[in-house]
Every structure is written in structure tokens, then in C-alpha cells.
Amino acid sequence: MFTRRNRARAFIVGSALFALACQDDFPLGSWGQTAPSSAPTSSGMPSATSTTPPPPPPVPSPACGETGTPVPLATAGTQIGTTNVYTNWTWPSPVDSLEWDLVMETDPPNDGYYWVHQFSFVNSGSTGFFGLQAHGGYTDPATPGPVDFTKMAVFWISGPPTDAELGDFTGKNGRKALVTQYGIDWMTIHGKFEWTACHVYHLKLGPDGSTDAGDVWYGAWMTDKTTGVESFLGRMLIPASWGQLQTLSVMQTTRIDNAATDVPVVTCADPEPASAIFGIPTANDGTVLPAAPQSRFAMPPRCATSRYTNLPEGVRHELGVRSP
């Protein structure tokens, strides 16, 4: 359970579980493919006898309300609250960028949830996440005032990065700030982002330029594939010594709290249902596919109201599932 005083801590709940072993793995298709380029001939054209495999086919987008058979609900624990759901993706080697689709199938009217993709850097161990959020607490450091509980896009990296810049979300609609949570320093970018349930959002994390010293700007983009509108959340400057992205990344669904009403959760039926589909991710602009995913529930478990579903286009995460 979270209150208004500690709501901000919810942004990094689960980060300590990032590297834990997984359970309940399931295959979603053909994975681990990389698309090497064809070797040119002396004429500059690929050889007619080349056996270089073609690039992997485009990953299909998930569809809102897609049917599937979910796994059994998470085992009930001794605490009241939702049990977070995680899906791990393993890449054949370190990568430069990550891309994935996200479909929020519900829009909880009061509760706060976030749907993010966690990542880390090979040499520094610094972690980060990028995703969308429902009813998070937003404040503008330049003009402090009442907390605005709203839909947002969120981008955090620990370490922290040496600099950050806002993208399309400026003025009162975007903020960048250094924060310290649980003894860890984070660079953060938040943008008010009025996502719509059942729209397909394509999210991308990747390089957006570099400095003369070789440091790399990592940017975060969201494209509403339903309307075609692209938004640039912002970018952070990553030291060259940090290296590429690690071969493990984790998608997670987490409940923040009863954000708009702040009503304490006293029964397992109190959290509002939230459902979203994470599409199959790709790396390096769609040229790399991960190994078969592994999904799991957070430990220790809480209420038996969480589950996940294997779908041809990705994985559905559900929290706050109501009893029939």
C-alpha cells in the first residue's frame, strides 16, 4: 500500500528484482535471430550465391482484447495488495536500442499503474526504465504546487547520466529532475501523455547522437500507431564507458496506489483491474529478436489477482483481476 507521501517510491519498486531468476517460461515463436549484412562482391553488389539469411520478419502488433488462455492466478500470499508481473527477454549479445509495442486494454479511473521496460548497461550496472503510466503524481519543479495525478510517460536511468534534455514535452507538460530513491541517484524525465486505451503505442529507446568524447545521448520515443502521431519524450547523456545495453531486459506491470482517491487498500478486491499487452520487442531497429521470454510473479506474492497470458504477438499482464 502506498500513500501520497511515498508515492514517488513506487517508480522503482521491483528494480532489485531485475536480475532474479525467472519462472513460468513459455515460447512465443522463433527467437534469437540476427540479420547480418550480405558481403558485397567486387562490383559492390551482393553475391548471387550468398547464403546470408534474410532479416527477421516484422513483428506483428498486438490487438486490444485479443483472446488467449491465461496461466492460473498468482498464488495468494499473506499481504494485501497486487502481485507485480514481470516478463524477461534475453538478447543474443549486447544491443544499442530496444523497440516494442504496448497496448493498455483498460484505463483505470482512479488507480495508478505503470507499464515499463527495464534495461541496464554492460559496464556500469546502471539500470533504467521507460514506459507509460496511469494516474502518477506529477509535479513541476520550476513551479511547485499541488500534485497532479495524470497519465504520463516516464524515463529513469540510475547512475546518474551526466545530462538530460526534454523533447516535445515542455513548460508545465514536461520535467527533468535528479532524484534519490533508496540511496540511488536517478536522472528522470516525465511528460504528461494522454494515452488512450486500446491504441497501439510503439516505444523506442536508443541512441540520439553523441559527443566528441564518445558519450551517447539515449532518447525515448512514443508513436501512437493508431493515429500516427510520434512524440519525443527526451534524452539522457550516457558516458561512453557504460557500454551497450545488457543482454537481459524486463517488462513489468506494477500498481502504484489508489492515486486519485488515496483510499487505503484493505481487501484484495480494492485495486481496480488493469490489463495491458506488451508486444514482442526487437533490438537495433528491428534487426535482432530475443530468445523465448520468461514470465514470473513478484515474490513474495500478495493477493491472488494477477496473471499473464501467452499471445502470438506478445504477453498480456493483468493485475487486480476480479473474481468471476
Helices (H), the chain: none
184-192/174-181 β-pairing: antiparallel
Greatest Cα-to-Cα distance within the chain, rounded to the nearest angstrom: 72
Give pLDDT tens digits along the chain (324 positions): 333 333 333 333 333 333 333 323 322 333 344 443 333 333 444 444 556 667 778 889 999 999 999 999 999 999 999 999 999 999 999 999 999 999 999 999 888 999 999 999 999 989 999 999 998 888 876 777 788 889 999 999 999 999 999 999 988 899 999 999 889 999 999 999 999 999 999 999 999 999 999 999 999 999 999 999 999 999 999 999 999 999 999 999 999 864 455 556 789 999 999 999 999 999 999 999 999 999 999 999 999 999 999 999 999 999 999 876
Structural contact between residues 161 and 237, judged by C-beta atoms closer than 8 angstroms: yes
The structural domains of the chain, with segments of one domain joined by +, span 84-319
The contacts of residue 52 (CB under 8 Å, 6+ apart) are: 36, 37, 38, 39, 46
C-alpha cell read off for 301:
506474492
User: What type of residue is 10?
Assistant: A
DSSP 189-229: EEEE----TT--EEEEEEEEEE-TT--EEEEEEEEETTTTE
What CA dihedral angle connects 256, 126, 129 and 234, to 10 degrees? Answer: 120
Q: How far apart are CA 197 and CA 179, in angstroms?
A: 30
Domain 84-319, CATH: 2.60.120.1270
Q: What residue ranges in the chain does DSSP mark as E strands?
A: 85-90, 98-104, 113-120, 127-138, 148-158, 163-166, 174-181, 184-192, 201-210, 216-224, 229-238, 248-255, 274-279, 282-283, 294-297, 307-311, 314-319
Partnered with residue 223 across adjacent β-strands are: 202, 230
pLDDT at 143: 72
pLDDT at 51: 62
Structural contact between residues 116 and 104, judged by C-beta atoms closer than 8 angstroms: no
Closest CA to 115 of 322, 275, 306: 275
pLDDT at 121: 98
Q: How far apart are CA 178 and CA 187, in angstroms?
A: 5
Structural contact between residues 174 and 235, judged by C-beta atoms closer than 8 angstroms: no
pLDDT at 55: 75
pLDDT at 291: 95
Rg (CA), the chain: 20
Closest CA to 250 of 84, 103, 111, 96: 84
pLDDT at 148: 87
pLDDT at 231: 98
pLDDT at 204: 98
pLDDT at 23: 28
| Sheet arrangement for strand 174-181 | 174-181, 184-192, 148-158, 127-138, 113-120, 248-255, 85-90, 294-297
Structural contact between residues 16 and 4, judged by C-beta atoms closer than 8 angstroms: no
